[in-house]
């Protein structure tokens, strides 16, 4: 139990003795504040809410309550106006926090709230035969981090790569390949060559509009099972997946399912039948729709006038399949903000179909990856390839290592961990709804609020443990005064907050909470390192300070892991 939970328990018990039984310790915990100035106390409790129940002014309640609070983890308590300001027994709290972390290790901050229930997470989902651009980075790394965080909360995440492997664009690509394609070139550089053909199709169509009709015809052939169309489509898909896997392997991202859009081709008729049986389909200009007027939304298009099904039909089929396969606690869709209306419609249609579980489905939107302030476009060939960005980042880190630490035995591995980490962290430190402007300079700066900065703080702490001959101990007995500096207390306070940060990140599907936290912890640790002599002359003082360093190592490593980053021990 954290010291804040212990404080909340004490306050709730004291309030109960004063005649207030309506505030549980959980409610009290939610009311606790951190004073703006550490000189005012470590924790503060506001008494405004109690005035009505006790029929007293908040300052009088604060004075009475302060007199009833004592004992570990408290050192003293004072009433300051309507607040009770509480000072903690820092040595007692330090022993408790460090002891908990060193005992629990990587499980520190874990929870069983998920009870092992499944959470399918739709993430990444690049389009087959198109390059894996910086635009796809966001869904991949945000989704992977959310999966890690949900797992930390006791859920069983199911990572689903819902590949864009169906649609009229494949008809266009087949036409382009048949007109201008070269099998040897595609085999040599599949994504690059397929993109070139796709871009050329859109350039040529401006002079020859009949190409659009040919594209539609070939997609119809593909839908009807034409042998040549099927062969080319499968080839494009297989070659694309091979290329994508190189990038996923580099980023250490793995999937439990790669069922793409095509997987649901034989599952959509059932959706249409169910909607008809439930009397939800109506005709509109020859198309079949589900009316959503009561939600102030446009109708959800299920079947076009030519009988073709749409994204909504496919996603309804996918939702049914996932619920039947996983009986999920929650289902998450990490998809760009521009698809917000689509998902709102999807959930409302499922609700109208009578599926109460639709309330547990969540669209996790995110902003765009911009270049020079503009959206990237595959069609126009204006795209920055993620593979090239990762390669450049790794190369830049290798140069730094060669310059700063040429004798490092694991140079290549560390360069990969730090280079890839720089790219991932650049995205995840931002709140997901914000647009991120792609900039080589910002992405590959290894100072300030960056992944490499946090990784270096971890490596520096590991180095201290090696130099100090640190040996893990089963119990924590701190030498008196060893951690009585404000710098040490700032580190301990942050370490104690880690479980709360994970909980907040999980509740809001927001990895940036952890991104900001590990930056704060790295900065606070570096202040401690700069101002306190960790390897002191006294053996017991050194041992105590190294135990704090070991706790920092454990939490930084786990925080980085949750974000999808490695934590090198040497850099």
Residue 448: other Cβ atoms inside 10 A: 10
Question: pLDDT tens, 123-165?
Answer: 999 988 888 877 789 999 999 999 999 999 999 999 999 999 9
pLDDT of residue 380: 53
Q: Count of alpha carbons within 13 Å of 125, Cβ hemisphere only?
A: 19
pLDDT category of residue 373 using cuts at 50, 70 and 90: confident
Distances (CA, A) of 376 to 145, 277, 333, 385: 24, 43, 22, 11
Domain 3-88 annotated CATH 3.30.1360.70: yes
Residue ranges per domain, the chain? 3-88, 118-266+307-370, 386-563
Omega of the bond leading into 390 within 30 degrees of 0 (cis): no
pTM: 0.91
User: What was the pLDDT predicted at 148?
Assistant: 98
The rounded distance, in Å, linking the Cα atoms of 246 and 136 is 15
Residue 376 is predicted with a pLDDT of 63
- Segment 310-334, tens digit of pLDDT: 889 999 999 999 999 999 999 999 9
Segment 271-284 mean pLDDT: 95
User: What confidence tier does 307 reach under pLDDT thresholds 50, 70, 90?
Assistant: low
Judge whether residue 32 has pLDDT over 90.
Answer: yes
Class of domain 118-266+307-370: alpha beta
Contacts of 58 (CB under 8 A, 6+ apart): 46, 47, 48, 50, 51, 81, 82
Mean pLDDT of the chain: 92
C-alpha distance across the termini of the chain, in Å: 35
User: How far apart are alpha carbons 208 and 222 in whole angstroms?
Assistant: 22
The pLDDT tens digits for 35-89 are 988 889 999 999 999 998 899 999 999 999 999 999 889 999 999 999 999 999 9
Comparing CA positions, the residue from 178, 102, 119 lying closest to residue 153 is: 119
Q: Under CATH, which number does the domain 386-563 receive?
A: 1.10.730.10
């Amino acid at each position: 139990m954290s010291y804040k939970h212990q404080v909340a328990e004490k306050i709730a018990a004291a309030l109960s003795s004063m005649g207030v039984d309506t505030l549980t310790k959980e409610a009290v915990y939610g009311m606790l504040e951190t004073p703006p100035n550490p000189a005012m106390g470590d924790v503060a409790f506001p008494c405004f809410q109690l005035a009505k129940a006790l029929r007293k002014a908040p300052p009088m309640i604060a004075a009475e309550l302060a007199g009833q609070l004592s004992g570990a983890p408290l050192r003293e308590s004072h009433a300051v106006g309507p607040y009770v300001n509480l000072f903690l027994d820092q040595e007692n709290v330090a022993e408790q926090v460090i002891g908990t972390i060193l005992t629990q290790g990587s499980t520190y901050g874990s929870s069983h709230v998920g009870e092992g229930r499944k959470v399918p997470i739709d993430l990444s989902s690049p389009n087959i035969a198109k390059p894996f651009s910086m635009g796809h980075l966001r869904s991949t790394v945000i989704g992977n981090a959310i999966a890690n965080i949900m797992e930390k909360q006791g859920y069983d995440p199911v990572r689903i790569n819902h590949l864009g492997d169906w649609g009229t664009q494949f008809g266009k690509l087949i036409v382009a390949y048949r007109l201008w394609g070269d099998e040897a070139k595609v085999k040599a550089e599949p994504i690059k060559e397929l993109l070139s053909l796709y871009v050329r199709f859109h350039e040529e169509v401006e002079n020859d509009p009949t190409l659009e009709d040919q594209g539609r015809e070939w997609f119809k052939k593909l839908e009807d099972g034409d042998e040549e169309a099927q062969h080319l489509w499968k080839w494009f898909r297989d070659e694309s997946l091979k290329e994508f896997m190189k990038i996923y392997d580099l980023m250490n991202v793995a999937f439990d399912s790669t069922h793409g859009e095509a997987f649901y081709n034989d599952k959509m008729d059932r959706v249409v039948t169910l909607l008809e049986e439930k009397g939800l389909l109506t005709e509109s200009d020859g198309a079949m729709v589900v009316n959503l007027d009561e939600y102030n939304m446009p109708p959800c298009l299920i079947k076009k006038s030519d009988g073709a099904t749409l994204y909504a039909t496919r996603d309804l089929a996918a939702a049914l399949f996932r619920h039947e396969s996983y009986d999920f606690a929650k289902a998450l869709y990490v998809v760009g903000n521009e698809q917000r209306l689509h998902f709102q419609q999807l959930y409302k249609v499922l609700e109208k179909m009578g599926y109460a579980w639709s309330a547990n489905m969540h669209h996790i939107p995110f902003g765009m990856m911009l270049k020079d302030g503009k959206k990237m476009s595959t069609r126009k060939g204006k795209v920055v390839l993620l593979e090239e960005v990762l390669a450049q980042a790794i190369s830049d880190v290798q140069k730094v290592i060669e310059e700063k630490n040429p004798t490092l035995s694991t140079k290549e591995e560390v360069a990969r961990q730090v280079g890839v980490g720089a790219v991932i962290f650049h995205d995840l430190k931002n709140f997901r709804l914000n647009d991120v402007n792609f900039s080589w300079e910002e992405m590959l700066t290894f100072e300030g609020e960056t992944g490499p900065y946090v990784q270096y703080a971890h490596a520096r702490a590991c180095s201290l443990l090696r130099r100090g001959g640190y040996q893990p101990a089963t119990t924590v007995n701190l030498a008196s005064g060893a951690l009585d500096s404000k710098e040490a207390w700032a580190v301990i306070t942050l370490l104690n907050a880690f479980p709360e940060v994970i909980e907040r990140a999980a509740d809001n599907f927001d990895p940036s909470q952890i991104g900001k936290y590990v930056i704060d912890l790295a900065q606070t640790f570096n202040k401690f390192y700069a101002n306190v002599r960790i390897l002191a002359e006294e053996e017991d003082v050194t041992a105590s300070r190294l135990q704090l360093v070991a706790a920092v190592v454990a939490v930084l490593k786990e925080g980085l892991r949750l974000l999808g980053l490695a934590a090198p021990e040497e850099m």
